[in-house]
A and B are shown apart, each in its own frame.
Chain A
Amino acid sequence: MSKTSSTVHGPNGSIPKANTWLLRTEHHGEERGRTYFKSRSTREIRNLQMRKNISHATTTIREKRKKVVSEVPNWEDLRTRASQIKQHTLANLDVYLEEFERNVTKAGGKVHWARDAAEAREIALELVRESGASSVIKVKSMVTEEIGLNAYLSENGIEATETDLAELICQLAGDESSHILVPAIHRNRVEIRDIFEATFAQKGSLEADPPKIAEAARKHLREKFLRSTVAISGGNFLVAETGSVAIVESEGNGRMCLTLPNNVISIVGIEKVIPTMEDLEVFLTLLPRSSTGERMNPYTTIWTGRPPAQMAPEKETTEDRKSYNIILLDNGRTRVLSDEVGSQALACIRCSACLNVCPVYERVGGHSYESVYPGPIGAILTPQLVGDELAGDLAFASTLCGACYEVCPVKINIPEILIHLRSIHSDHRRDTMSGNLERGSFGIVGIVMGNTNLFNIASSSVSLILKYGGPLLNRVGKYLPPINGWVESRNLPKAPNGSLRDAYRKGTLDDLLKK
């Protein structure tokens, strides 16, 4: 199980700084430092509005998901199949990516390869510049967030507008997204109304009513859809056999972006490729049910080489022929691939089911993870993408209850990866003071538990300490290293009225149990 640091970094060298864009810790500003899950979540957990909004959302989607999943008698078979497809593809990733490229090219599209975030941003900027546009519209995409695309485009004079309602809310408010599927779920309707009125809508013109707010977004964005000449998207699935790309969405903003502008650029992680159309059918059964809890999402667009044209292809003139470019992004994924246990995380189809069932996520919210990828999937993906030094603490953002594994449509064993990442983390801490202390104390515990006399002495002294010192320690413990880490967020247990072993010896077991 134990891995050395070279495994975390993989055979491909250390982590480039550009990669840390997917972290969004505010502690280090532009430096994009490391995650501080513990202190951030301690703060977030006090945000009662956020918690209320999130738990309402997760509870609702959980119920919906359960219902539509129970309708599919072969659900477990589909999960197994999906996991096998992903494992197989990852094992032959080079073959399938090259096949995908060949087929896209044959159908008239162009494939680019980006080793890291900086390279992907550079290619995207170049393509936008070639088109002559000074603004772009965007389909919801986590990868563009991962590489910090919007900020980069804006530094270079290109305005990017998010067209998914929740992404738009986040963009206008300057918020970080807090959920994979519904990124603005930390905001309620009144806050969203206020954000719209503070930006594009007139003050006092809007009611805090979801249909009215959605209508305002429709009007605001319609203009942009009609005028824009470049759209940037992510991609849910890439089909190697045909060179097709599939985008799954609800609002129709995806279709607008893909259909109206003449230039479409997709930026997609290399792990999104699947071998065949038949495989796509499996994923299209699993994804919507796991994600929004619907039998199918409102719109799925699948195209090959060129996205849907405004007019029937034979009626097009050469000017309105669409240009299509797709950027395949590594950005740490090959490093994840080289870790035998951790590479399972690359099978993720970003459905967000694991977030909705996670007791930790439900309480601390998405922002606590300080990463573009929150929740259980974030806890296994972020430390692997940016390295243990920067985000290793996220592997501890879990109770290991296993609910995420149960719902994951591609059967990613999230608890197994968490434990694996924890062991990497403690290996890294081997040489630090607190690491030594921790190992030292567990060594002592080992000796004590291995010896009956020592154990008896220890257990009675612990009772005494708890009984007389407990209340005091609860108050001052947080200032006393090394126990502060524990006492900070927990109270010590109440002292028991004697131990089971004592009672057994004295023959008073019945009395003890009655109490």
Chain B
Amino acid sequence: MTSSKNEILQRIRQANTSQVTGVRTQSTLIRMAPVGDTEPRMDHDDLVKLFIERVEDYRSTMVEIGPNELASAFEKVLKGIEAREGFDTICVAPPLLHLFNKTVAGYKVANPDQLTLTDYNSKVLGTLSGCAIGLATSGTIIFNSSDDEAPGISTLVPDHLFVVINESQIVQDIVGAITSFDLGRPLTMVSGPSATSDIELARVEGVHGPRNLTVFVVRQ
């Protein structure tokens, strides 16, 4: 008995040889139409502006800060957030831990290594993490599970997600962006908070992932 794999491959070959047109040949890949740019190429300053505008469009909060202002800006943002009973911890990605002295705005600062899934679900209010790159055209943040970032569940389970991005990490759009990654680690692309439009197409933020997304853009 032939295996299912062989049978399916056999069916495909048979189907493709019965085609009469010559369109489907290996060479079509080479003659493909150029895709060009999704936006005219912009200078860096415009790019950063576009990124900020497009991230805000998803009803996210954008905070522009100077090189050494993350700790104070983060504290200010946290103070403005409604407290949630029992949620007394903020998860901070390891490379950013040195910015805080055990607490921030009254919340305990925790290293993701010390947190469990239950913690993320029942006491972590939000997570502060770096990211790999930002895409200006679509206002997207890409995580690639690197050491600069807090782990996957910490950016998914808690209610708030805070992301820090250097303006130098912002690129124009997705074309050419994801090909540059080492795919040994998963990529997660985030564009705004979790959302649904399943009920009468009314947009609701925060279904299963974070309800709120705050992005700190570090300007030089």
Contact in complex: B23, A87 (CB < 8 Å) = yes
Shortest CB–CB separation between residue B80 and chain A, in angstroms? 21
Q: Give the number of residues in B that approach A within 8 Å (Cβ atoms).
A: 83
| Of B3, B112, B117, B208, the contact of A251 (CB 8 Å cutoff) | B208
Shortest CB–CB separation between residue A391 and chain B, in angstroms? 20
B201 within 8 A of partner (CB): yes
Contact in complex: B8, A81 (CB < 8 Å) = no
Contact indicator per residue, chain B 181-199, by CB within 8 Å of chain A (1) or not (0): 0011111111111111111
| Of A77, A93, A222, A294, the contact of B36 (CB 8 Å cutoff) | A77
Residues of B within 8 A of A242 (CB): 183
Contact in complex: B194, A251 (CB < 8 Å) = yes
Contact in complex: A113, B8 (CB < 8 Å) = yes
Bound-state Cα–Cα, A87 to B22, Å: 11
Chain B residues numbered 26-44 whose CB sits less than 8 Å from any CB in chain A:
26, 28-29, 32-40
B140 within 8 A of partner (CB): yes
A120 nearest CB neighbor, chain B only: B4
A171 within 8 A of partner (CB): no
Chain B residues numbered 155-198 whose CB sits less than 8 Å from any CB in chain A:
156, 173-179, 183-198
Residues of B within 8 A of A112 (CB): 4
Contact in complex: B188, A300 (CB < 8 Å) = yes
Residues of A within 8 A of B26 (CB): 88, 91-92
Contact indicator per residue, chain A 204-247, by CB within 8 Å of chain B (1) or not (0): 00000011011001100110011000000000000000101000
Contact in complex: A182, B197 (CB < 8 Å) = yes
Contact indicator per residue, chain B 1-32, by CB within 8 Å of chain A (1) or not (0): 00111011101111110111101111011001
Identify the stretch in B71-79, B81-89, B98-106, B145-153 within 8 Å (CB) of chain A at 4 or more residues.
Answer: B145-153
Contact in complex: B32, A281 (CB < 8 Å) = no
Contact in complex: A297, B191 (CB < 8 Å) = yes
Contact in complex: B186, A301 (CB < 8 Å) = yes
Q: A210-B199, A281-B179, A295-B54 are in contact. Are A340 and B152 (CB under 8 A)?
A: no
Contact in complex: B177, A281 (CB < 8 Å) = yes
Bound-state Cα–Cα, A232 to B147, Å: 29
Chain A residues numbered 74-96 whose CB sits less than 8 Å from any CB in chain B:
74, 77-78, 80-81, 84-85, 87-88, 90-94
Bound-state Cα–Cα, A296 to B190, Å: 9
Contact in complex: A330, B11 (CB < 8 Å) = yes
Identify the stretch in A56-64, A398-406, A430-438, A480-488 within 8 Å (CB) of chain B at 4 or more residues.
Answer: A56-64
Q: A61-B201, A184-B198, A304-B183 are in contact. Are A78 and B14 (CB under 8 A)?
A: no
| Of B28, B37, B199, the contact of A189 (CB 8 Å cutoff) | B199
A interface with B by C-beta (< 8 Å): 10-12, 53, 56-57, 60-61, 71-74, 77-78, 80-81, 84-85, 87-88, 90-94, 97-98, 107, 112-115, 119, 163-166, 169, 182-185, 188-189, 192, 210-211, 213-214, 217-218, 221-222, 225-226, 242, 244, 250-253, 255-256, 259-260, 270, 275-278, 280-282, 284-285, 288, 292, 294-304, 306-313, 315, 328, 330, 334-335, 337-338, 340, 343
Q: Closest 10 interchain pairs by CB?
A: A252-B209, A91-B24, A338-B15, A334-B11, A296-B138, A252-B194, A252-B208, A251-B207, A166-B198, A296-B191
Having A81-B33, A90-B24, A340-B21, one finds 12 other A-B pairs with CB under 8 Å, namely: A56-B200, A73-B40, A87-B28, A88-B24, A92-B26, A184-B199, A210-B199, A298-B193, A299-B209, A311-B151, A337-B11, A343-B15
* 9 A-B pairs whose Cβ atoms sit less than 8 Å apart in the complex: A98-B9, A165-B199, A185-B201, A218-B208, A255-B209, A280-B178, A301-B188, A310-B151, A343-B15
